[in-house]
Chains A and B, each alone.
Chain A
């Protein structure tokens, strides 16, 4: 009985953490929506951005997939061989919950891949795609 109760409490806590993470993601998305002046984001546009091959950025990173692999649910690898945890929210619920981290990595990686920072709309689309995966 005690064990069962423990499991039930654990499950409730996990659900609570999930709800909180969703709230944090929604807050970040709302910020991008306000900045971009749009009311919703496009999963398809996010997918296209993720898979796009570019020439404007740094030579070693023509695409997001250069490091993240083309499967958002799979682990990626940095150029130095270190594992990158999956981007897809379904398998990595911590993704896009820390606004500072989100801004830092969009700033760095958009510059590395595209040679410029991403717009708020691109960031929202990208997030929407990863939240659908």
Chain B
């Protein structure tokens, strides 16, 4: 019964948001989030951080990694709602109550991007930082990272 309810709930959600498929955590599907986040950097997908991380990020946009990225209330609320709806509760390797703010600090990220890659990024102005996914992963905005 519970399963049925969950299924019905999922179907309703799907119908309400997207006609064809459930929201993917690996692509930013909300237009406001896509536009606002990508004004300065690639819009990172909700799946990379747990819900509580996105809440912390959206609560402190006036000091967003050292810059003022503040938004009007309507846009801020819409984006937070989208990220917290789609992001997972837990992310592999992140403690159950931790709220990391930087994807680049996650253990798996550091494992995948070792010192050789970090040095290359630091010395290439076209990459500039490890946060610049699309410099190397051409399909990053579509959720493809396996091209390395």
Contacts and interface: CB of A to CB of B under 8 A. Distances in A.
B136 to A, nearest CB: 11
B73 to A, nearest CB: 13
B23 interface: no
Contact of A82 (B62, B71, B132): B132
B68 A81 contact: no
Interface string B66-88: 11111110000000000000000
Q: Is the interface of B mostly helix, strand, loop or mixed?
A: loop
Interface residues of A, number: 16
A81 B62 contact: no
A111 B38 CA distance: 20
Contact of A60 (B67, B71, B126): B67
B7 interface: no
Interface stretch (A12-20, A34-42, A47-55, A72-80): A72-80
Contacts, number: 51
Nearest to B72: A104
Given A80-B41, A81-B135, A82-B41, A107 B70 contact: yes
A70 interface: no
A112 interface: yes
Contact of B67 (A81, A82, A108): A108
Contacts of B71: 104
Contacts of B126: 81
Interface string B27-64: 00000000000101110000000000000000000110
Q: Which of B67, B72, B131, B135 has the most CB of A within 10 A?
A: B67
B128 interface: yes
Contacts of B38: 82
Interface in A106-121: 107-109, 111-112
Contact of B128 (A59, A80, A104, A108): A80
A54 to B, nearest CB: 14
A104 B69 CA distance: 9
B90 interface: no
Interface in A94-129: 104, 107-109, 111-112
B127 interface: yes
Given A78-B41, A80-B41, A82-B40, A112 B128 contact: no
Given A58-B68, A81-B131, 18 more contacts: A58-B63, A58-B66, A58-B67, A60-B67, A78-B41, A79-B66, A79-B67, A80-B40, A80-B128, A80-B132, A81-B127, A82-B38, A82-B40, A82-B132, A104-B71, A108-B69, A109-B68, A111-B62
